[in-house]
A and B are shown apart, each in its own frame.
Chain A
Amino acid sequence: MRAGRRRLSRDERLAYLILLPALGAVFVIVTIPFVLVVIQSISADDGTLVGLRNYSRALSNPLLYDALRATATYSLIVLPIEILFGLGFALLVHRTVRRPGLRAAIYVLAILPLVVPPVAIGVVARLVYAPSYGVLNVILERFGAIHQEINWLGDPNLAMLAVASVDIWQWTPFVYLVLFSGLQTVPRESVEAAQLDGADWWAQFRYIDLAYLRPLFLLIIFFRLADVLRVFDHVFILTGGGPGTTTQLLSLYMYRVEFKYFDSGQAAALAVLVLVSFSILYRLISRALPLERT
Chain B
Amino acid sequence: MTRPPIDRAAFLRSGLAAAGLGIAGILYGFPLYWLFVTSLKSKAELFSSTVHLLPHNPTFAAYSSVLIDRGFWVLLKNSVIVCFSTVVVTLVLGLIITYPITRLPVPPRLRVNILIWALSLRFLPPIAVVIPYFAIVRTLQLYDQPIALIGIYSLFNLPFAIWMLKGFLEEIPLELEDAALVDGASRWIAFWRVLLPLAAPGVMAAGIIVFTFAWSEFLFALILTATPNSQTFPVGVQGLVTQFEIIWNDMAASGVIAMALPLALMVIGRRYIVAGLTFGVIREK
Binding site for B on A (CB under 8 A): 8, 11-12, 14-16, 18-19, 22-23, 26, 29-30, 32-34, 36-37, 40, 89, 92-93, 95-97, 106-109, 111-120, 122-128, 130, 133, 135, 138-139, 169, 174, 177-178, 181-182, 184, 216, 219, 222-223, 226, 229-230, 232-233, 236-237, 240, 250-251, 254-255, 258-259, 264, 267-268, 270-271, 274-275, 278-279, 281-282, 286, 290-294
**Residue pair B258, A120 in contact (C-beta under 8 Å):** yes
Interface residues of B in 217-268 (CB under 8 A from A): 218-219, 222-223, 234, 237-238, 241-242, 246, 248, 251-252, 254-256, 258-259, 262-263, 265-266
B218 touching A119 by the CB < 8 A rule?
Answer: yes
Chain B interface residue number, banded: 35 or more
Could you write out 18 A-B pairs with CB less than 8 Å apart? A18-B99, A18-B104, A22-B97, A23-B97, A37-B131, A89-B20, A111-B266, A117-B258, A120-B258, A125-B31, A126-B251, A127-B34, A128-B34, A181-B285, A240-B242, A258-B134, A268-B131, A293-B116
Given B96, B115, B273, which contacts A22 in the complex, CB threshold below 8 Å? B96
B residues with a Cβ closer than 8 A to A are 13-14, 16-17, 20-21, 24, 27-28, 30-32, 34-35, 38, 46, 51, 53, 93, 96-97, 99-101, 104-106, 108, 110-112, 114-116, 119-129, 131-136, 151, 155, 158, 187, 212, 215-216, 218-219, 222-223, 234, 237-238, 241-242, 246, 248, 251-252, 254-256, 258-259, 262-263, 265-266, 270, 273-274, 277-282, 285
Option from B14, B28, B251 in Cβ contact (under 8 Å) with A169: B28
Q: Is A282's CB under 8 angstroms from B134's CB?
A: no
Contact B132 A254 (CB under 8 A): no
Q: How far is the CA of A275 from the CA of B115 in the complex (A)?
A: 19
- Given A33-B132, A123-B255, A127-B31, A232 and B127 contact (CB-CB distance below 8 Å): yes
Count of A-B contacts judged by CB separation below 8 Å: 254
